[in-house]
Amino acid sequence: MTAIPGLSSGAYAADLVQQHLHRIVELQTPVLEDTDPEPLHQLRVRFRRLRATLAQFAPALQLPETVTGQRLAKFGRSLGLARDLDVLRGRLEGELLPLLTPRELSNLKRVQKQLKRERRLAFEGLVETLRSKRYLQLIAALQGWLKQPLCTALGEEPVLSWLPEWKSAALTGLMLHPGWRCRGYGAAGDHEALHDLRKRIKAARYALTNLEELEGALLSSWIERFKAIQEQLGEFNDLLVLQRALEDQVEGDLDRLLPTLCSLILEKRAQTWSLWQASSTAMLDPQTQEQFRQMQLGSGPDQPSSAVATEGPPG
């Protein structure tokens, strides 16, 4: 859709919903075929973006009663379990196993077998969800609504007149989150804060992406910055989840049974943590914060003051 003066918030939001829903329906068949993990990843992302879009523009839209954030979140969790296991197995089997000794590979057979079993069970639940009456009703309700979208009085007003407000829900309070100021990664509280911050950053990124067509380069640089930080935190979380899975599945001393693997995980965690510390320090810089505030208002320089740390492994 090309943004034009006078385009309403409701019409703009409905077009975003149409794009996400079309892709969701398109992805269902390849996901059920389960021959490649990528369609499941894309479906999960689209579900998240659909949910974020409906939440962001909720004041402008009159949605069917069956379309709720709670239901979308429930379906998203069903997709998420199988996808998380794909990521875990991919990181272990694709990145780490080729670097291990035969003895360590033998000690990991039980872990691999258990991950495959958990993934099979998660996929069975996913199939049940995608074929369920409630899921199909949700999709049908959105498709029906898109034929003649209903909007509130605010939704009839020009989207360009309310840009700061359409940003605010995801951006307000973002820099007050305690995760930005975590300076250690040993405490459980830090892990939880960083995991929650990653979700907040993802929501901010989706909200800005929804408005990128309207503001262009002013938002593009921030979208890329948030994406890089999100990937760093995702990398760190994946390594933590992998370590916990090993602790649960391997009987005995991990450092003795899997010395190379433990060393690699610690090394990757330290590297990722160093990148994250550089990124968080840059984000808390007063000049960057001023540019962040200007971006929220839709004015000022279009580039953050210093680049996010991007060297090292992707998230």
Residue pair 216/201 in contact by the 8 Å Cβ criterion: no
Give residue 14's pLDDT: 97
**Which tokens in the block code for residue 153?**
């009085």
Give residue 313's pLDDT: 35
Q: How far apart are the first and last CA of the chain?
A: 31
Task: Identify the segments of the chain with pLDDT beneath 70.
Answer: 1-4, 185-189, 299-315
Give residue 98's pLDDT: 93
Burial class (CB in 10 A: 0-12, 13-18, 19+), 82: buried
User: What is the pTM assigned to this prediction?
Assistant: 0.88
Instruction: Return the amino acid letter for 134.
Output: R
Give residue 6's pLDDT: 82
Model confidence pLDDT, tens digit, residues 268-309: 999 999 999 999 999 999 999 999 999 988 754 444 544 455
Give residue 191's pLDDT: 84
Give residue 311's pLDDT: 44
**Residue that is written with structure tokens 């840009």 in the block:** 163
Give residue 304's pLDDT: 53
Give residue 267's pLDDT: 94
